[in-house]
Amino acid sequence: MWQLQVYDALLFDCDGTLADTMPAHYRAWLHVTGAHGIAFDESRFYGLGGRPTRDILATLAREAGLDLDLDHGVQQKEAAFLAQLDRVAAIDPVVDVVRRSQGRVPMAVVTGGHRAVCTRILEHVGIAAAFDTLVASEDTERHKPEPEPFLAAARRLGARPQRCVVWEDSDLGIEAARRAGMEWIDVRSFHTPARVSGP
């Protein structure tokens, strides 16, 4: 079992790690992709976990041969997600770690999502004040699985990468942690989100 005192900092992904948002995100994606006739399988959605919304939409549009207004599409998707925020629950084992660690070790949220949306999620589950910094998609040019987001968080916290532990729920996020030289805990080992059967 990992020991808190051996780490300089704890870094947490947001969606699917701190809060069980993934089903709501997928329903929001279906709202957007369905309007354009784009097929988006749920398994693929989970495989893209950690990538920014705009990048995912650009990929889907390119594959479908569509020229979409990406900014508008992103706004639609995020609005459709926020409309479901009251249905989102905390992932209690991870949030418990946050509450027990607050004030004892520096902590950051490192997300592929937008800062404003992530902040709303953290406020909803009651832990926004627990973190020393938030690295969102707007803060780095290269995203998970690249290590830059986690390395940026470590720099902000004055932490050595090799003395950071990352909590993640996606293959891309875990690969980013590995490339950053950090340890990681895979939330999927003890939490499985519900699957969505339709919009």
**Which CATH number goes with the domain that contains 100?**
3.40.50.1000
Residues 41 and 67 both lie in one domain: yes
Per DSSP, the three-state class of 183 is: strand
Distance CA 135, CA 150 (A): 8
Best CA proximity match to 37, nearest among 15, 16, 63: 63
Whether the bond into 93 is cis, omega within 30 of 0 = no
Residues 36 and 58 both lie in one domain: yes
| Residue showing tokens 């990352």 | 166
Give residue 168's domain range.
4-21+89-189
- Residue 6: predicted pLDDT: 83
Beta-bridge partners for 135: 110
Distance CA 199, CA 196 (A): 7
Rg for the chain (alpha carbons), in Å? 16
| Other C-beta atoms lying within 10 Å of the C-beta of residue 123 | 12
Residues 108 and 14 both lie in one domain: yes
- Residue 198: predicted pLDDT: 47
13 is catalytic: yes
**Within-domain flag for 170:** yes
**Within-domain flag for 197:** no
Residues 95 and 59 both lie in one domain: no
Span 106-159, pLDDT tens digits: 999 999 999 999 999 999 999 999 999 999 999 999 999 999 999 999 999 999
Domain-terminating residue out of 69, 86, 103: 86
Residues 94 and 77 both lie in one domain: no
pTM of the predicted model as reported, rounded to 2 decimal places:
0.89
Domains contained in the chain, number: 2
Distance CA 42, CA 23 (A): 9
Take residue 24 and report the two structure tokens written for it: 């709501």
Span 11-26, pLDDT tens digits: 999 999 999 999 999 9
Helix 53-64 × helix 22-35 angle, to 10°: 40
Domain-terminating residue out of 34, 67, 86: 86
Active-site choice (13, 15, 20, 169): 13
Span 17-67, pLDDT tens digits: 999 999 999 999 999 999 999 999 999 998 888 888 999 999 999 999 999
Q: How confident is the model at residue 164 (pLDDT cuts 50, 70, 90)?
A: very high
**Within-domain flag for 27:** yes
Output DSSP code: residue 8.
Answer: S
